[in-house]
Structure 1
Amino acid sequence: MRLSPRSPLVLALALAACDLEILDPILTGGNSGHASESGPPAETSTGTTADSDTTAGSTCASNDTCTTYDSDSGAVFVVPPDPPAACDVYSQDCPSGFKCTAEGPPPLDVDSITCSPVVADPDQAGEACQVLVLGHYGPDTCDVGLFCDDVDPQTGTGTCAVMCHDNSGQPQCDADSECFGYHHIPLCVPHCDPLLQDCPAGDSCQYAGVDFVCLEVVALPANQLFEGCGGDWYCAPGLSCVDSEAADECSSGPDGPGCCSPYCDLSAPTCPGLGQQCQPYYDPGQAPPGLENVGVCALP
């Protein structure tokens, strides 16, 4: 996953507002926002415009883009729509045709969460998607309850990931995934087996409190066997960040005081370090179903 639970969601290509590259427009209805090329609105016989929304000093309807006309100066002004109301990403409480998601440039904060229009024929979970403004978190082409994740900063393409939903106050995902709160964008990340490392390319199977889930390797190139680390997310897939005393071969480095050491199978234990043994990863009786044989190589 490109979103990291340990640092703000950051895209490598963060463009300034004046240099945004728009990939595809989103049409939300209402006027185009451009002044008419044929001149100001036609006046009625009483000297007022035919539409009260185009008179001098008028206000426009909420959530719509319109124009105003100053009869004294002849100037035509474009009035942008009011900003969308904040929303709840868990309950997806936006109006029909909108979804609660993140938009705008980094940094990601509560003001980034908004009701965003759902595009026609939106992409579904697991399908390729597009972020419509390079360097921004959104809008994107995913359906309601989905977020365009694992985004290539050069092309704006990614994959639609499922956002956690709220069931009686508890964030929920399906049985094959776990809810992770990614700085206001909670995503359902898949469970995995650290002995199989059965995660998508670019992710590794990392410990997440109780279970193992697929998370992004933050530092690339990833640290290799016995190299220093500050957490599992620094180590290459198949390696866990353990205490540097877990192996005589451990080397210190700028990434932290730990050491990348392999996971191992307690039913067929093998370890690369001199004197290392396959030690149980979980305390007795604490391993989730299917992970009872997970161990990590360390000195006794």
Structure 2
Amino acid sequence: MPGLRTSLIVGVFALTALTACGTTTPGGDTDDGGTMDGPSPSTTVDTFPTAPTSSPATSMGPGTTSESESGTSADSSSGGAFISADMGGGGNCDVYAQDCPKGDKCMPWADDGGQSWNATTCVPVMPNPGQVGDPCSVEGSAVSGIDDCDLGMMCYNVNAQTNMGTCTELCGGSSDAPTCEDGLCAAYNDGNLPLCLTDCDPLLQDCGPEQLCLASPSANGFVCILDSLPGSDGGYGAPCQYVNTCDPGFFCAVQNVVAGCFNPTGCCEEFCDITQPNPDSQCTGAPGGEQCQPWYGMEPPPPGYEDVGFCGIPL
């Protein structure tokens, strides 16, 4: 998904990661909700080896990195949003509970003038607000927290040139028991960016253009997020720091999972199908000791994800 650059590396062990979706921008933690123009969500992983990102703690898959860079950035116009994967609080309101005064809504925003959603704040709900799926606009940038979507929604996947995006549902319930009317909850940026995103198949990468299918940091499953660096070199072994900086079909994994990886924050690693006759043959790093391993390890996978695996050096 354009606009999400998450600092999350998937590892073979359970890690927690957050992902934030936003506009794409070069460099940064997560973008702010604009397509290729702002910050992106980050996620934390609790089940697999992943690299640092900031998203809610949940089982995301092998070796994902989750470096809690609190916020996503939103400054480029078609990608460039970064997501971090830590769960946790901060801010002066609760996005899940929407506990602001009547007429206001609780929104993720960047309280430090940066390009990542690192806090929450109460802002007025605009007259005649947009509903989920409607086109929307933001004031200033994708991470300003000010848009024309309704209560419980935010303008996400924002284009930096036009400040236009799509109204997207924010997770309800609570951080411990998130709910979504549609899709799966994926909480990024230390929990400040809980988005209801479309579920997907990481082996098929069946998301829209400039989107990636990656593990949700806060739910058992995979969701579509913005590709923060569409068209860039994010294939096997490429250095990464954010969840959404690798190419489709790859994820940011911790350094010791990827053969020949010397980047401290992790390298891009492949998904694989564990039901194939010779699953290890799908792994580019097989000569270096990588094997195709179940994404969910010894835990029972959610329905529909029984075949999902990841390549990596067994830890």
TM beyond 0.5: yes
Change (3 A) 1:297 1:9: closer
Aligned to 1:176: 183
Aligned to 2:236: 225
**Partner letter of residue 221 of structure 2?**
D
Aligned to 2:148: 141
Q: What's the CA shift for 1:228? A: 3.5
Q: Distance in 2 between matches of 1:104 and 1:168?
A: 20
RMSD: 3.4
Q: Distance in 1 between matches of 2:254 and 2:110?
A: 40
TM-score, normalised by the number of residues in structure 1: 0.61
Change (3 A) 1:290 1:175: farther
Aligned to 1:165: 172
The aligned runs of 1:195-210 (5 Å cut-off) are 195-209=203-217, 210=220
The aligned runs of 1:1-300 (5 Å cut-off) are 1-2=21-22, 3-5=40-42, 6=54, 7=69, 8-12=71-75, 87-102=93-108, 106-107=113-114, 108-110=117-119, 113-116=121-124, 118-134=125-141, 137-166=144-173, 170-174=177-181, 176-183=183-190, 184-209=192-217, 210-219=220-229, 221-230=232-241, 232-242=243-253, 250-252=259-261, 256-267=265-276, 269=279, 270-271=281-282, 273=284, 275=287, 277-298=291-312
Which one has the largest radius of gyration?
A: 1
Q: What's the CA shift for 1:11? A: 2.0
Using CA pairs under 8 Å that are at least 6 residues apart, name the structure with larger relative contact order, 1 or 2.
2
**Is contact 1:87–1:115 with CA below 8 Å preserved after alignment?**
no
Q: Distance in 1 between matches of 2:255 and 2:110?
A: 41
Aligned to 1:67: none
Tell me, which stretches of 5 or more residues in structure 2 are unaligned? 1-20, 23-39, 43-53, 55-68, 77-91
Tell me, which stretches of 5 or more residues in structure 1 are unaligned? 14-85
Q: What's the CA shift for 1:207? A: 2.5
Q: What secondary structure is seen at the aligned counterpart in 1 of 2:74? A: coil
- CA deviation digits over 1:59-116, x for unaligned, max 9? xxxxxxxxxxxxxxxxxxxxxxxxxxx5432222345443232467634554x50131
- CA deviation digits over 1:154-196, x for unaligned, max 9? 2111111111112697332246312414452322233321111
Single out whichever of 193-202 and 262-271 deviates more from structure 2: 262-271
Q: Distance in 1 between matches of 2:126 and 2:141?
A: 17
Q: What's the CA shift for 1:293? A: 0.9
**Partner letter of residue 10 of structure 1?**
S
**Is contact 1:230–1:256 with CA below 8 Å preserved after alignment?**
yes
Q: Distance in 1 between matches of 2:309 and 2:174?
A: 34
- CA deviation digits over 1:231-286, x for unaligned, max 9? 65332110134466767xx5546574434234335246451535565332222442
Change (3 A) 1:99 1:227: closer
- CA deviation digits over 1:9-38, x for unaligned, max 9? 22227xxxxxxxxxxxxxxxxxxxxxxxxx
Q: Distance in 2 between matches of 1:95 and 1:299?
A: 51
Q: Distance in 2 between matches of 1:126 and 1:94?
A: 23
**Partner letter of residue 94 of structure 2?**
D
Q: Distance in 2 between matches of 1:244 and 1:136?
A: 30
Q: Distance in 2 between matches of 1:145 and 1:283?
A: 35
Aligned residues: 224
Q: Distance in 2 between matches of 1:101 and 1:149?
A: 12
Change (3 A) 1:231 1:286: farther
Q: What secondary structure is seen at the aligned counterpart in 2 of 1:233? A: coil
Q: What's the CA shift for 1:145? A: 0.8
Change (3 A) 1:254 1:243: closer
Change (3 A) 1:222 1:191: farther
Q: Distance in 2 between matches of 1:252 and 1:298?
A: 11
**Partner letter of residue 184 of structure 2?**
S
Q: Distance in 1 between matches of 2:299 and 2:102?
A: 47
TM-score, normalised by the number of residues in structure 2: 0.58
